[in-house]
A = this chain, B = another copy of it.
Amino acid sequence: MTPEEFRRHGYQAIDWIADYLAHPGRYPVLARVAPGQLTDALPAEGPERGEPMETILADFERLVVPAVTHWNHPGFMAYFGISASEPGILGELLATALNLNGMLWKSAPAVTELEQVALRWLRQWTGLPEDWFGCIYDTASIGSMHAIAAARHAAVPESRTRGTPQGLVVYTSEQAHSSIEKGAIAVGIGQDYVRKTPVDSEFRMRPDALAAAIERDLAAGLRPCCVCATVGTTSTTSVDPVPAIAEICERYAIWLHVDAAYAGSIMLAPEFRWAFAGCERADSLVTNPHKWLLTPVDCSVFYTRRPDVLRAAFSLIPEYLRTADDPRAVNLMDYGVPLGRRFRALKLWFVMRYFGREGLADILREHVRLAQELARRIDADPRFARTAPTPFSVVCFRCKGTDDENRRIQERVNASGEIFMSGTVLNGRFTLRLAIGNQATTSAHVERAWELVREAAG
Contact = CB atoms under 8 A, between A and B. Distances in A.
State how many copies of this chain the complex holds: 2
Contact of A89 (B11, B45, B97): B97
B338 A46 contact: no
Contact of A181 (B118, B122, B316, B346): B316
A372 interface: no
10 nearest A-B residue pairs (beta carbon): A188-B188, A164-B188, A163-B190, A46-B121, A10-B14, A84-B99, A35-B328, A35-B329, A1-B86, A67-B110
Given A72-B98, A99-B72, A346-B64, A38 B339 contact: no
Interface string A352-392: 11111111000000000000000000000000000000000
A244 interface: no
7 contacts: A53-B87, A60-B94, A69-B106, A71-B108, A79-B101, A138-B342, A235-B319
B3 A97 contact: no
Given A35-B326, A50-B358, 6 more contacts: A9-B90, A60-B94, A60-B346, A71-B99, A84-B99, A234-B318
Contacts of A4: 18
B99 A296 contact: yes
A92 B87 contact: no
Nearest to A15: B7
Interface string A324-346: 00101100000001111010001
B93 A13 contact: yes
Nearest to A60: B94
Interface stretch (A270-278, A422-430, A448-456): A422-430
Given A93-B96, A96-B93, A138-B338, A6 B33 contact: no
A11 B90 CA distance: 10
A51 interface: yes
Contacts of A168: 163
Contacts of A78: 107
Contacts of A6: 14, 17-18, 21, 86, 89-90
A155 to B, nearest CB: 13
A122 B342 CA distance: 23
Query: Most chain-B CB neighbours within 10 Å: which of A36, A109, A161?
Result: A109
A50 B297 contact: no
B83 A99 contact: yes
Contacts of A320: 79, 234-235, 422-425, 433
A33 B107 CA distance: 12
Given A17-B10, A234-B320, A46 B124 contact: yes
Interface residues of A, number: 155
B186 A162 contact: no
Contacts of A179: 337, 339
A124 B183 contact: no
Contact of A68 (B110, B300, B318): B110
A20 interface: yes
A186 B186 contact: yes
A189 interface: yes
A292 to B, nearest CB: 13
B110 A38 contact: yes
A401 interface: no
Contact of A338 (B93, B142, B354): B142
A150 to B, nearest CB: 11
Nearest to A20: B97
Interface in A55-95: 55-57, 60, 64-65, 67-72, 78-79, 82-90, 92-94
Interface in A247-264: none
A166 B124 CA distance: 43
B3 A7 contact: no
B45 A19 contact: no
Given A82-B99, A99-B82, A190 B178 contact: no
A245 interface: no
Contacts of A149: 186
Interface string A163-178: 1111010000000011
Nearest to A86: B1
A126 to B, nearest CB: 11
